[in-house]
Structure 1
Amino acid sequence: MKKEYWDVDDVQVIEKTGNAISHWITILDEFNAAEKKSNDSVSLLQSEYNVPRYWARTLTTLYLKSKGK
């Protein structure tokens, strides 16, 4: 997977999701996403927070990379 896929900044994320990266990191931490399948995290962001699929996947990948996964 290319780094460009998850190498995004707050401006991009806020524009597409309405919230900063730190907001989504907190949500994924509370969901314990590092210990779950990535598809579960993507599904959470889509269904509970109306994040578009591409951005849900991007945020999940960014999160997992930040946790060394």
Structure 2
Amino acid sequence: MKKEYWDVTDEQVIEKTGKPIAFWMETLKEFHAADKKSNEVVAFLQEMHAVPRYWARTLTTLFLKNNGK
């Protein structure tokens, strides 16, 4: 997987999701995303927060990269 996939800016994330990266990282931490399968996390973002699939996957990957997975 190319680094560019998860190497995104706050500007990009806000434009596509309406919230900054910090918001999503905290949301995923509260969801205990590090203990779940990535597909579960992506589905959570899509279903509960209406995050587009590409950005749900990007945020999930970013979170897991930053949290030792």
Q: Normalising by structure 1, what TM-score?
A: 0.98
Q: What aligned pairs does 1:1-69 form with structure 2 within 5 A after superposition?
A: 1-69=1-69
Q: Offset of 1:54 from its aligned partner?
A: 0.1
Structure 1 Cα separation of the partners of residues 68 and 40 of structure 2: 18
> RMSD value over aligned CA atoms?
0.4
Residue ranges of structure 2 left out of the alignment (5+ in a row): none
- Overall identity of the aligned pairs, in %: 67
Q: TM-score, normalised by structure 2?
A: 0.98
Gaps of 5+ in 1: none
Structure-1 separation of matches of 2:35 and 2:9: 24
